[in-house]
Structure 1
Amino acid sequence: MPSAAERTRTLVQSTCSAVLLIPGVEAARPEQLTPQARVVGTDGEVFLLFPADSPAVRAATHAQHDELAAVLEITDVAPVSVPHRIRGRAWVSGWLTCTPGVAEPGAMMLRLEVGEAYVDDLWGACEVEPEDFARAACDPLVAHETEVLQHLHSVHSEQVQELCGLLGERGGAPVAPDEGGEKTEGAGTQGLRAVPLALDRFGLRVRFVGERHFDARFDFPTPVRDAVELRRAMHRLFEAAAH
């Protein structure tokens, strides 16, 4: 499984929604505290791009040499329609400063020196040390996950549904999804609808929904490193389910 540090780093470098929380700036609208871009530096610091007139930039500018505490809160929402759609959250807290001259005119790059981090997601909740966050690598599939999950849900829903057969008695009776991906009328009470929920280099997570719902992980034989290896791993997984 991916480490807590890797999961946190992946969320920070993903396109998940994020907001920068700064004491004393609570009155600002959420969109004013949402960075336009974010990237992790070589030493594990997080760089956040904001308009030059944003409340976050003003607060960092006025703080000058004082330490300005801030928390970057990230919310991960599944890119497909599924019950309990929030997959997790991460919080990266530390000290905020301006880095003039880095951004284009009209914008300012803020630097968040990481003091601590915490992730609470589908794998569980865990604290992350700054050193571990700095050393961690982002999941190689983060740029592809949304597109792949949406593609699986809309084009390969029948094959995803067949994964129910790999669950044994836990799966109950499969339910074929209709064209909209919803449970068909007249299905048995034990029927389950399979929805692709999350993807990383180690495997695919599917949420099975029916009278009850639960998640199941389908691990790849070996971790994948790119989209080419992912296609091969998914093909092997669907082949196993078909037989």
Structure 2
Amino acid sequence: MPSAAERTRTLVQSTCSAVLLVPGLEAVGPDQLMPLARSVGPDGDLFLELPADSPVVRAATHAEDDELTAVLEITDVAPVSVPHRIRGRAWVSGWLTTVPGLSGPGRTTLRLETGEVYVDDLWGAQDVRPEEFRDAVPDPLAGHETELLQHLHAAHGEQLATLCGLLGERSAGHCPAHPPAVVPLALDRYGLRLRLCEDRGRCYDARFEFPDPVRDVVELSQAMHTLFEAAAR
């Protein structure tokens, strides 16, 4: 399974929505606290680009002794329609300072020095040490996950349903007489997670691991083919 540090790093560098929580700016609208872009530096600190007139930029510019604390909250929502759609959240807290000269006109880059990291997602809740976050690598499929899940949902629904047969005793009473609705929920280099929803509204997740971790979409295609072949036997 991906480590908590890898999962958090993936969320930070993904397109998931994010908002900066800054003491004293609680009344500011969320749209004014959303970074336009974000990246992670070699030391594990976050670089966040915001409009130059953002309240966060003004607060960081006028902070005394560079002691403006902040939390970047990231919310991960499944890219396909499914019950309980929020897949997880991550929080990176630390200290904000301005970084001159990195942004174009009308924008300002802020540096969030990473102090504490926490993730609560489909795998569970866990603290992440800053050095673990710094050294972690995002999942190689993260940039393609949205389109891949949407494609699986739209074009391979029947094949996904056949994976129910790989669940063994857990699928007793459900497949094939009363098959649940099957929705692809999450994808990473280690495997595919499906959400199965029964007609009475009960949902549960099933995880299907690949024979080996995949490094790109080509290897993913081969791994999915192996899964579907196993389900067809």
* Aligned amino acid, residue 227 of structure 1: V
TM-score, normalized by length of structure 1?
0.92
Q: Tell me whether 1:233 sits opposite 2:223 in the alignment.
A: yes
- Aligned partners of 1:208 and 1:27: how far apart in 2? 40
Partner of 1:178 in structure 2?
Answer: none
Give 1:157 deviation, angstroms.
0.5
Give 1:213 deviation, angstroms.
1.5
Partner of 1:203 in structure 2?
Answer: 191
Give 1:168 deviation, angstroms.
1.8
Task: Give me the CA root mean square deviation.
Answer: 1.1
Give 1:173 deviation, angstroms.
3.0
Give 1:64 deviation, angstroms.
4.9
Give 1:237 deviation, angstroms.
0.8
* Aligned amino acid, residue 209 of structure 2: D
Q: Deviations 1:58-89 (Å, cap 9, x if unpaired)?
A: 11001153311000000000001111100000
Within a 5 Å distance, the mapping from 1:3-14 to structure 2 comes to 3-14=3-14
* Aligned amino acid, residue 209 of structure 1: C
Within a 5 Å distance, the mapping from 1:148-163 to structure 2 comes to 148-163=148-163
Q: Give secondary structure in 1 for the equivalent of 2:65.
A: coil
Q: Tell me whether 1:127 sits opposite 2:106 in the alignment.
A: no
- Aligned partners of 2:155 and 2:175: how far apart in 1? 18
Partner of 1:53 in structure 2?
Answer: 53
- Aligned partners of 1:136 and 1:229: how far apart in 2? 22
Q: Tell me whether 1:214 sits opposite 2:204 in the alignment.
A: yes
User: 2:66–2:96: 8 Å Cα contact kept in structure 1?
Assistant: no
- Aligned partners of 1:52 and 1:62: how far apart in 2? 13
Partner of 2:107 in structure 1?
Answer: 107
Give 1:242 deviation, angstroms.
1.3
Partner of 2:74 in structure 1?
Answer: 74
* Aligned amino acid, residue 39 of structure 1: S
User: 1:174–1:193: 8 Å Cα contact kept in structure 2?
Assistant: no
**Count of matched residue pairs:** 230
User: 2:60–2:66: 8 Å Cα contact kept in structure 1?
Assistant: no
Q: Deviations 1:96-141 (Å, cap 9, x if unpaired)?
A: 0000110001100110000000000000000001010000111111
- Aligned partners of 2:143 and 2:232: how far apart in 1? 28
TM-score, normalized by length of structure 2?
0.96
* Aligned amino acid, residue 53 of structure 1: D
- Aligned partners of 2:71 and 2:123: how far apart in 1? 22
User: 1:71–1:93: 8 Å Cα contact kept in structure 2?
Assistant: yes
* Aligned amino acid, residue 113 of structure 1: E
